[in-house]
Amino acid sequence: MLQRIPEPEVMDSPAEAIAYDSMDFTEVNSAFAQDAIAIAQLQARGFILDAGTGTARIPIAIARQLPQWQIIGIDLAKSMLEIGTHHVEQAGLQAQIQLECVDAKQMQQFQIQNLTV
C-alpha cells in the first residue's frame, strides 16, 4: 500500500495551487487510486473520503473506475479546491464528487454518514 506524506503547511496561494497542479503526479496518483479502488471493489457502492485532495486528481481517477461510488474530497487550501472543482466539472463528475474545505487534522468536526473507504 502506498504511503502518502502530507505537506507541512497549506498551499493556499493561487500560484502554489497552479504550480502543484502542473506537476506530474500521474504515477503516484494512479497507484494511490488503484489501492483505493481495490479496497472499494469489495462492496458494490459506498462513500470514499480523500483527505488532502488537492486539485482532485485522485477522486477523478477513482470516480472514472467506480461510477457507483460517491467521493468526498477535503482540503484546507481553497485555491487547490477551486482548481479541483474546475477539474471535476471538466470531467463531468459533479454528481459523484463533492469537494469541501476542511482541515484534515480536525476531521472529527466533519461527519460523513456511511463512510466506506
**7 or 10, higher pLDDT:** 10
Asked if residues 70 and 96 have their Cβ atoms less than 8 Å apart, the reply is: yes
50 exposed, middle or buried (CB, 10 Å; 0-12, 13-18, 19+)? buried
Q: Taking the CB of residue 114, how many other CB atoms lie within 10 A of it? A: 8
Cβ atoms of 93 and 67 closer than 8 Å: no
pLDDT of residue 99: 97
Radius of gyration of the chain (CA): 13
Confidence of residue 72 (pLDDT cuts 50, 70, 90): very high
Mean per-residue pLDDT over the chain, rounded = 86
What is the three-class DSSP state of 19? Answer: helix
pTM recorded for the entire structure: 0.81
Please determine, for residue 4, whether its predicted confidence score (pLDDT) is greater than 60: no
Query: Could you tell me which residue, 58 or 42, shows the higher pLDDT?
Result: 58
Residue 5: predicted pLDDT: 62
Structural domains in the chain, sorted by start:
14-109 (3.40.50.150)
Average pLDDT over every residue of 26-53:
86
pLDDT band at residue 108 under the 50/70/90 scheme: low
Q: How many other C-beta atoms can be found within 10 angstroms of the C-beta atom of residue 22? A: 8
How far apart are alpha carbons 5 and 116 in whole angstroms? 22
